């Protein structure tokens, strides 16, 4: 299945190859203060392939807090956060916002709360390496 998503204005877009076709898509509603305020609900497929395209990099703000091991890619034009990345051992991992998905049957989404409070940094990075998308291509077109 090829899944497309983007911020509201389209400055940050992504294509996610999800194989095999999902019978359900996990949708984790993070309970951290940032995600709670922004309605962050994330998904990933560790065996998937993600391509993120940024039309105007000057209109992307990256925000990191807490352990500073993840960057939220925020469109400065429309305020949407379609993707989060984490660089671990010089390798880029990512999750995408289910709220930014386009043309995905909502009945496929399996929403659940995810509290990461108290998780140690090394455990967090190990979890990301296991569960986040590991095949990530980030393109900045500069147009």
Q: Which residue has the tokens 């496929």?
A: 108
Q: Is the peptide bond before 20 cis (omega within 30 degrees of 0)?
A: yes
Q: Give me Rg for the CA atoms of the chain.
A: 14
Whole-number pLDDT of residue 143: 53
Range name among 77-81, 89-93, 98-102, 104-108 with the lowest pLDDT average: 104-108
Torsion over CA of 65, 61, 18 and 105, rounded to 10 degrees? Answer: 100
pLDDT tens readout for residues 41-75: 999 999 999 999 999 999 999 999 988 999 999 99
Whole-number pLDDT of residue 115: 81
Counting DSSP H helices and E strands in the chain, the numbers are 2, 12
């Amino acid at each position: 299945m090829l899944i497309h998503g983007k911020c509201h204005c389209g400055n940050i877009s992504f294509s996610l190859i999800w194989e095999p076709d999902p019978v359900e898509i996990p949708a984790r509603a993070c309970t951290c203060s940032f995600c709670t305020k922004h309605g962050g609900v994330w998904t990933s497929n560790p065996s998937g392939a993600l391509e993120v395209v940024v039309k105007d990099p000057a209109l992307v703000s990256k925000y990191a807090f807490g352990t500073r091991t993840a960057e939220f890619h925020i469109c400065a034009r429309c305020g949407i956060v379609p993707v989060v990345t984490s660089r671990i051992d010089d390798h880029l991992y990512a999750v995408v916002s289910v709220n930014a998905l386009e043309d995905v049957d909502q009945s496929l989404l399996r929403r659940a709360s995810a509290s990461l409070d108290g998780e140690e940094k090394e455990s967090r990075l190990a979890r990301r390496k296991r569960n986040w998308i590991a095949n990530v291509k980030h393109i900045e077109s500069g147009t």
